Amino acid sequence: MALTREDMDRKVDEHSRRKGDAGLPTRQNRPTPSVESAREPAGQQLGPVALKTLTQALALVMGTEAMLAVKDVEPVEVHYYPHDGSVFLDTHYLIKGVAGAIFWKLAREHSHPGRQEFSTRELRLAGRELRLPEVQDNLSVRLLLLQRRLAERGAAMQIHKTGRGRFRVLLLRPMRLVQAPAQGTTHREPQVSQRVW
């Protein structure tokens, strides 16, 4: 019988709750997919103890534990164009549309109140601001697309799922948020907010 990813996650959660895992929160020490794929070639040749040691070492190098924020660097300038939801990091295009509006909302919320934890429910409630369609918004798919795009670009902001309908935003570099004026308005200076660590 083949287990789905959700079934395996559920079993890992149950096991860590029963075992206690030295007081660590559930799922904190779970290997990421990149760690799992990196250890796969050695999996057949190593014993369980050596495999566990390899997994922990790879998690330090490749996993979320390796994503430490660097504060003494120039901030990434994030440009947001509200007329189509386009987002540029410095001069490089990242994403547009609903996913761009989601990125902008998360970046703003993270920079001003300093929040890190978010839920898909609160994004759904901000549907009009994010231009989500009223029927079949596909929010989880759009959020996953944004998460993958940020990861593959090695962007200054990363999104990590922390549970069902919950996720965390991590900044790897400071960001300077710049919103272009809305299309059709008279020329005015863009709104700028500086991300302070």
Give residue 26's pLDDT.
Answer: 40
Q: What are phi and psi of 106, to 5 degrees?
A: -65, -40
Both 89 and 161 in one domain: the answer is yes
pTM for this prediction: 0.59
Kind of pairing, strands 175-179 and 76-81? parallel
* Residue 8 within any structural domain of the chain: no
- How confident is residue 55, by pLDDT bands cut at 50, 70 and 90? confident
Q: Which two tokens stand for residue 197?
A: 């660590």
Q: What is the average per-residue pLDDT within 151-171?
A: 90
Total of domains in the chain: 2
Q: How far apart are CA 121 and CA 105, in angstroms?
A: 14
Q: Which two tokens stand for residue 182?
A: 């809305």
Q: What is the average per-residue pLDDT within 140-154?
A: 91
66, 89, 117: which is the final residue of a domain?
Answer: 66
Q: What is the average per-residue pLDDT within 138-159?
A: 90
Q: How far apart are CA 162 and CA 119, in angstroms?
A: 10
* Residue 146 within any structural domain of the chain: yes
Both 61 and 91 in one domain: the answer is no
For residue 99, give its domain range.
Answer: 76-194
